Structure 1
């Protein structure tokens, strides 16, 4: 995925501020991918907790 797509997905999942968006745009694709994976995992963990 492109860096902008990953940033958009992170924004959808967490609701980023303008400052957070600016910081993410300055990071490398690999760094953004890592952040996306962490955010996705947090969302998944929250859904599992709600299910129980």
Structure 2
């Protein structure tokens, strides 16, 4: 892999991760789910212990 191509790939990966992290910071974990391979399973735990 040439150095220029490698830098392009790294830049693309970092940009996608940054976008997913920004979404996560806004309460939307979907960005990381979308970046995951199809065989990855995402389970969200809604733990409301201690409320009410």
Give the structure-1-normalised TM-score. Answer: 0.48
Greater relative CO (CA pairs within 8 A, separation 6+) = 1
Higher relative helix content: 1
